[in-house]
Amino acid sequence: MRKLTTPNHTTLLGIIFFCLPYIGQAHPVDSNLTIFKKLVNDSIRHITIEADFDSLFNYKKLTDEQKAKLTIKNPNGTTQELGIKVKTRGVYRRRYCEVPPLRLNFKNEELDSMGLNKAYDKLKLVTHCVENENAEQVLLKEYWTYKLYNELTPNSFKVHLVKVTYINTRDTSNQTERFGFLIENNNEMAHRLGGELVVKYGLTPDKLVASSHQNAMLFNYMIGNLDWHIELKRNIKLVQLPNKEEIMVVPYDFDMSAIVFPSYARLNPDYGQENFTERFCVGRFSSKEALTVTTQKFLGLKTDYLTAFNECPYLTKKSKIGMAVYIKSFYRQLNRKKKLKKVFL
């Protein structure tokens, strides 16, 4: 395993720990409480994962799970240890990343003993991917992209930012601390929205909840993301609501967007993309009226979208300016009606 290195975060650790406010202490046991909700509600800001990272990362294309230990650091200074299983995840990132995203699989008996719903026993952890100075900025920008979609609609994945200490059990002196963020369990998201996950390929827009499809189209256009597709079911989850024929679209994985701009960014030849910041619409609006309604929704969020991440102490000034400039260019396009019709209709 490549030696894990730790940048100087001493000054960062002395600031407010995260970009979100302190929420409170542990909540009472609730049958609806999940491990994800507990981490959010208890304002957990730091976790430690101990695993054989030599084996996990040297053979990251394998799908086998490995035993690991997760330690949760509570705000009051106490800790709680949980036995988990981990494996690497992601199609492109698992191939490219030195530290690929992980799936954390919690033990049902431990969740049960904690009064947590054991039906949602798996969480995705988005990691810093590569060991370079810009890696954490890329991760934080993707985290904030999820948060921006949360502002647009509740039909989205919730995320939780944490500091992660990785300890390699082959050599416990080989450890590092980086930002990461946890993504709400797939089924937990679907059930929160009152539906069930479904797997369907070749879907056409008329089979979708129109507002969810339109939100996804315009949002992905805003952030410059071409790495998603309805018919191929790429980087989307589909939620079937009870007694409804239409299916809701919930996008995820925004790392390959221009607003995030990772080191592994690649031009998309399917659209003749010549510059990674170029925008193309994946899909089309059904009518001028639908386009108008959706653009008005985005115009109402303009101030929030341009200022939401400004108070985050961990994004650099350069990152904030880059995100703001790219979003501003989107809003300039919203005022060009002829351009909108050409792109979206």
**pTM of the predicted model as reported, rounded to 2 decimal places:** 0.91
pLDDT score at 249: 97
pLDDT score at 91: 82
Supply 330's token pair.
């989107």
**Largest interatomic CA distance in the chain:** 61
What are the extents of the domains in the chain? 27-190, 193-344
Alpha-carbon span 78 to 74, nearest angstrom: 5
pLDDT score at 59: 80
Count of positions (residues) in the chain: 345
Per-residue confidence in pLDDT tens, the chain, 345 aa:
445 554 444 444 444 445 544 333 444 445 689 999 999 999 999 999 999 999 998 887 777 899 999 999 999 999 999 999 999 998 888 888 999 999 999 999 999 999 999 999 999 999 999 998 899 999 999 999 999 999 999 999 999 999 999 999 999 888 999 999 999 999 999 999 999 999 988 888 999 999 999 999 999 999 999 999 999 999 999 999 988 888 999 999 999 999 999 999 999 999 999 999 999 999 999 999 999 999 999 999 999 999 999 989 999 999 999 999 999 999 999 989 888 999 999
Contact 110, 270 (CB under 8 A): no
Non-local CB neighbours of 227 within 8 Å, separated by 6+ positions = 234, 235, 253, 255, 256, 257, 268
